Amino acid sequence: MNAVWIATVLLAWVFGVHIPLVYTVLGIIWTLPAMEYASRRDGRYNDAVKGIARYLIAIYAVGGVFGTVITVFLAGMLPVFTNLAGVLLWPVWATAIAFGVAVALPLMGYWYRTLGSMSPGRHVALGFLTAGFTTVIPMMFRLVFAVVNYPAGVDVVKDPSSLVGFDLVVHNYWSLFSNPTYPPLILATLLGAVAFANALIAFVYGYRGVRPEAASISRRIALSFGAASALSGVWYLVELYYYAPTMAWAILGIRPPTIPAALAPVYEPTYSLTAAFAAIIALGLMSAALLILSGRIRNRALNALGMLASIALVIDVEEVNLLAHLPYAIIPPVSAAEGLASEYGVSFALTVAKVLSASTMASTLNALAVFVSADPAVLYFSIAFFTLFTIMVLVGIYVVLSWRSSGSG
Partner 1 sequence: MSSELEAPLLARWLSGVGITAHLLLASMFIGTITFAVVAEYRYLRTGDADWNALARTFAVIATIFLGVGAAFGTLVEFGLVVLWSNFVTLIGSGLVLPFYFELYAFLMEVVLVPIYVLTWGRFRNAWYHWLVGVVAALGALYSAFNILAVMASMSMRPPGLEIVQLPQSIGQVIHYAAVFTSPAGVLNMFWWGAEEFIFHGILAALILSWSGIAGITIYSHRRSPKPYKLKALRTILPALTGLIAIQGFVMGHLQGELVLQFDPLKLAAIEGMSWSGLRVDPVTSLLAYGDTTHAFWGYFSWPASIRPPQFLPAFYLGFMVAGGVLLGAWSLGLTLYYYGLHRIRGLGWIGRIERLLVGGAPYALVLLAALASIGGAVTAEVGRQPFILVKAVPSTTGPPDITGIPVGPGLYNPTLTLAPWLAALVFAVELIMPALAIYMVYLYVNRRAIE
Q: Under the rule (CB under 8 A), what is the footprint of partner 1?
A: 58, 61-62, 64-65, 67-69, 71-72, 75-80, 82-84, 86-88, 90, 93-94, 96-98, 100-102, 105-106, 109, 159, 161-164, 166-168, 365-368, 370-371, 373-375, 382, 385-386, 389, 392-393, 396, 399-400
Shortest Cβ distance from residue 83 to partner 1 (Å)? 4
Closer residue to partner 1 (CB): 67 or 226: 67
Shortest Cβ distance from residue 80 to partner 1 (Å)? 6
Shortest Cβ distance from residue 84 to partner 1 (Å)? 6
Phi, psi of 31 (to 5 degrees): -70, -40
Closer residue to partner 1 (CB): 12 or 105: 105
The full length of the chain comes to: 409
Shortest Cβ distance from residue 160 to partner 1 (Å)? 9
Closest by CA position to 273, among listed 226, 213, 224, 324: 324
Shortest Cβ distance from residue 330 to partner 1 (Å)? 12
Give the number of other Cβ atoms within 10 Å of residue 300's Cβ.
Answer: 11
Closer residue to partner 1 (CB): 76 or 295: 76
Closer residue to partner 1 (CB): 45 or 73: 73
Contact at 8 Å (CB) between 323 and 314?
no
Closer residue to partner 1 (CB): 272 or 382: 382
Closest by CA position to 91, among listed 174, 210, 5: 174
Beta strands at 166-170 and 154-158: parallel, antiparallel or unpaired: antiparallel
Closer residue to partner 1 (CB): 145 or 236: 145
Shortest Cβ distance from residue 164 to partner 1 (Å)? 6
- How far apart, in Å, are the Cα atoms of 147 and each of 41, 151, 155, 330? 46, 4, 12, 7
Closest by CA position to 155, among listed 300, 343, 285, 18: 343
Shortest Cβ distance from residue 78 to partner 1 (Å)? 7
Closer residue to partner 1 (CB): 181 or 366: 366
Concatenated DSSP letters of 195-257: HHHHHHHHHHHHHHT--HHHHHHHHHHHHHHHHHHHHHHHHHHHHHHHH-HHHHHHHHSS--T
In angstroms, what is the C-alpha Rg of the chain? 22
